[in-house]
Structures are given as C-alpha cells and as structure tokens.
Amino acid sequence: MLTGLSIRNVVLIEALDLEFGAGLTALTGETGAGKSIILDSLGMATGARSDRGLVRAGTDKALCTASFDVPKAGPIRAMLEAHDIDVNDAEDVTLRRSVTKDGRSKAFINDQPVGVKLLSEIGNLLLEVHGQHDGKGLLDPGTHIHLLDLFGGHQALLSACAKTFVARKETQKQVDALIALQAKANEDREFLEHAIGELDRLAPKPGEDAQLAEQRRFLQGAEGALTELTAAEDALGEDGAFEQRLNTALAGIERIRTKFGESESLASKALGNAASALERALLETQEARAAVSEAAQTFDVQPGQLDETEKRLFSLRAAARKYNCDIERLIEARSGFATQLASIDTAVVDLSKAQTAAQKAKAAYDKAANALSNARLKSAKRLDKAVVKELPPLKMERAQFLTYIEETGESALGIDKVRFQVSTNPGTAVGPLDKIASGGEMARFALAIKVALAGKNDAVMVFDEVDQGVGGAVADAVGKRLSLLSNTAQVFVVTHSPQVAARAAHQYLIKKSSTGTTTTTHVTLVADDAREEEIARMLAGETVTQEARAAARQLMAS
C-alpha cells in the first residue's frame, strides 16, 4: 500500500507531502490543474523514465519520495534482501529519486543508493499505472503472459516449467561443452600423441639437466688439460732418462763416501745429506710421474663424447622450450599430455551419457511446458469471457478482446508468447491492444482485466482518466468496478466524473493558483461537507445548486 508521497520542486509543485489510506482514492480537479504532475512524481519515485523537464523553473533539483507498506513476506522483500537493502518490518519501504536541471539522476531505497534499474524493478512490483500515463502495464506486451498466468493460477505449472528449464539448459550446456571438447580433441590428438612419443623417446631423468651441464663443462676443458698433463709427463722423462741421471749422481756420491769412509766430519755429513736428497728425489720423481699419468688418464675421454653430451643437453632444452616448461618438468608435462589424451578417449562415452541426460531433461521440460501451454489456452478462453463481460457497462459493448497465444522459443516461462488483442470499433480488425486502444480505452480494458483478476494482485493500481468520454450510467459502472477492486487492493483514480469520485473512500482536490509570474499546484484532502460540495461542483459546474448538492449526497450514499 502507498502510504505517502513527498514532492519537491516538480514542475508546478514547490513542496507537497501527502498521506494515503487503504481502498479507493480519487484525484480530482480541473483540466490542467496538475493531476498529471502527481502521476509523474509518483512515476519518478518508482523508477519510471524521468528527465530534467520535471525540475521546477528556478530550482536546481526535483525530488520525489514514495513510501509503501510492504508485506513481510513476498517477492518485494525477497528482492530487497537479495540486493542487501536494509528492511525493517516495522517501517515502510521508501523509494526516492532526484533529477537535477542538468539531467543527472540519483536513486535510493531506504536511504541506500541504488541503480535506477533496480528502483524500476522494485517500483514495477509495487505500482501499476493504467491509462494516459501508462509507462508499462498493458502497453508492455511482456506483461500479458504474467497477467494470464495470474488469472489462471498457473504458479505450480510455472514453477515446474522453470525448474525443468534450468535442468534443460544445464544438461544441454554440458553436451555443447563436450561436443566442443571433442572437436578440439580431434585437433589436439595428433599433437598429444606426437608429444608423448617424443618425450618417451627422450626419456628425461630427474636431475639430468644439472649432470649434463656439469659434464659438458668438464669435457670442454678436458682437451686442454690433457695437453698440459702430457707436457708434464714429457718433462718428467717418461723414458727413465731423468731417473738415470739421478742414479748416476747418487752413484758418484756413494763412491766419494766410500773413499772418505764413515766419519763425523762435516764432509761426511754433507755427502750423507746429498745422498739422502737424491734418494728422495728419485722416489718422488717416480710418484710424480705416476700421479701425472693417472691424472692424464682421467682427462683422456672418448672421441665424440662432448658432442654426444651437448646433443643430449640441447635436445632436453629444446623440448623444454617447445612445451614451455623447465627440463625438470618434462616428466610432468608428459603425464599431463597423457591425461588429456585419456580424457579425449573417454569424451565419447561422456558425450553419450550427457546426451542421454539432455534428452531426458528436454522431455521433462517439454512435458512441463506443454502442460503450462494447455493450461494457458484454457485460461485464455475464460479470461476473454470475463473481460468481455465487463466491457458493455464500460461503454465498450461492441469491443472485442482476445488473448492471442503463439509458440515461441524455450524459456523459463514456457514456449508461449501471449499478447492481448482488441477491436474497439465494429468492422475493424483485431490487433494488438497496445497499438489500437486509446488512452481512455486502454484504462478501461485494464479495469476490465483487473476486475477479472480481483484478489490476485497485491500491487497498488492507478487508473488515469478511465472514465474519459463517458458519463451517467457508464461512469457509475466504472466507479462500482473501481470500488470492487479496492476491496482487495489499494486503487487510485484520476477522474473528472462525480460518479467515480463519489465511490472513493478518499478524495484529493488538485488546484493551481498564480501570483504574479509564479504558478503553483496545490493538493487538498477533501472530507465531510467539503467533499459533498466538491462532488456537487463536479456535477453542476461553476454554480453549485441545491439540486446538485442533493445529487451529490445521493451518489455518495449509493
């Protein structure tokens, strides 16, 4: 229920705060007084398209706030909670929107900044406007299917259809993914098989990279080292000439020692030292020759060993570059390729299973969608009869109403496209409601539909000049139907008809006044005797007679 509307600096309204009650509320006043401004302001607050043209001249910003008493459970609360909008069960939900003279717009729900799109989505759940200022409602054919389902009570069928549609989409998505994988797999198989074969032939080993690099460094220096060691062997005299010379020197020393005999003389001691040194030199020369020979054998590598080592190392490095990994990870790469190849081999089986699941899901969806479609066909006939029954009292006795259903693509709402079609004049072809009906006719069609849906809709309903071009008994019939609707929902009507206004539980009079160069719209709650006087004025015109007052009392009492 709309509990309040606050307007600041919107066209002719400087400041206005209104409170509303349950039931039927009539907005009355002379043409041009500003009734449309009230609706524009309400639309602005609830997310309808608004522009800087609404900003009152001489001001920087227009601001509108609408407050709603929202049920504690239902789609509105669920949507607010889903978007992290704070909701207090004890307080109204407030929708606020501002538009600057530069055309910039800001939106708020419960004082939290939101996008205009969300404001509009919430606003569409809270408010329906039918008639001259119908921003969506029946003018949007997309709403027709929801009205038909609401009339037919198709909630359970809709739920089943939506549930099976999700399963249908998910299983088909899996099939499509596996088909794409299989197509790519056929391209990848040759590469994977080649890569696995290449790595199997290469057979990399853990730590081989470092070992080969070290071996390469050794082999690269081995030739030079061997040359130096060979020169050292030559210097030591591999033919024994060096030892022969040492032996000759030692023999000479020994002869001298024999000649001079053993004594403690300095000469004898010197000869002994010399002999000992020659003996050590002879021994160490032999050890040095053996050590050098052994070292030379270490660096005596096989011909082509360096080439083989480099070939192996470069092959490993090339494979690593090719498969975009370190040499150490070539073994992991091979394992990964094998896994991919195995998945390709099992993809055929997986695809077959997925296709079977998709077929079952489609069968379940088709069953649910067809059940919903059949229910809609039956409900459409009943809705057509219910709406057509309401048209004669609304001075549309020769109008036709037809719910047109055609099959369209699959969706969570089923396979149907629903569009209301009408003919408003005899002999004219039936066509789309949103293309054929005038503003007043649109409002009366909406009224007829809403009467058929009475008790099945929680939204606040606004009818803009639903009584356009009618009077007397027809206007009274409009008033009765609006009053009937207000028993189960809050209803607002913009009207010039006293018969309609008299049926309202609340009436607001909209007037405008001018002072100098300024024109301002004022809204006043009309009650008690003042209301009787206003309805009498609506009946009689500028001069209110006693007869008009008596007629007003009779209307209000009926």
Residue 177 has what pLDDT? Answer: 86
Confidence of residue 321 (pLDDT cuts 50, 70, 90): confident
Determine how many CB atoms are found less than 10 A away from the CB of residue 20. 19
| Helix 241-260 vs helix 266-298: crossing angle, to nearest 10 | 170
The one-letter amino acid code at 502 reads A
End-to-end CA distance of the chain: 26
Instruction: Calculate the CA dihedral of residues 437, 439, 444, 447 and round it to 10 degrees.
Output: 110
pLDDT of residue 363: 96
Residue 61, pLDDT score: 95
Range with the poorest average pLDDT among 43-47, 95-99, 141-145, 270-274: 270-274
Q: In DSSP terms, which residues pair with 68 in a beta bridge?
A: 2, 93
> Any idea what the Cα angle at residue 261 is, between residues 255 and 265, rounded to 5°?
115
pLDDT tens-digit map of 508-542: 999 888 887 788 888 999 988 888 888 888 888 77
Give the residue with greater pLDDT, 183 vs 83: 83
pLDDT at 294 over 90: no
Closest CA to 123 of 52, 56, 50: 50
- In three-state secondary structure terms, 512 is strand
C-alpha–C-alpha distance, residues 353 and 361, integer Å: 12
CA-CA distance, 476 to 18, in Å (whole number)?
A: 27
Picking from 171-180, 213-222, 360-369, 520-529, which range would have the lowest pLDDT averaged per residue? 213-222
Output the pLDDT for position 492. Answer: 94
Mean pLDDT taken over the chain: 83
Report the Cα 345 to chain-centroid distance in Å: 35
Q: Count of residues for the chain?
A: 558
The tokens describing 558, both together, are 């009926």
Chain centroid to CA 254: 108
State both tokens at 69.
Answer: 């008493």
Residue-wise pLDDT for 100-131, tens only, equals 999 899 999 999 999 999 999 899 889 988 86
Write the DSSP string, 504-517. -SEEEEEEEEEETT
In tens, the pLDDT along 132-173 reads: 555 556 777 888 998 899 899 998 999 999 999 999 999 999
Predicted pLDDT of residue 233: 61
Q: How confident is the model at residue 234 (pLDDT cuts 50, 70, 90)?
A: low
Give the model's pLDDT for residue 296. Answer: 57
- The answer to whether 510 and 476 have CB atoms below 8 angstroms apart is no
Domains and CATH numbers, the chain: 2-132+391-526 (3.40.50.300), 187-340 (no CATH)
Query: pLDDT tens digits, residue range 6-44?
Result: 999 999 999 999 999 999 999 998 877 788 899 999 999
pLDDT value of position 265? 66
- pLDDT at position 402 over 90: yes
**Cα-to-chain-centroid distance, residue 512:** 47
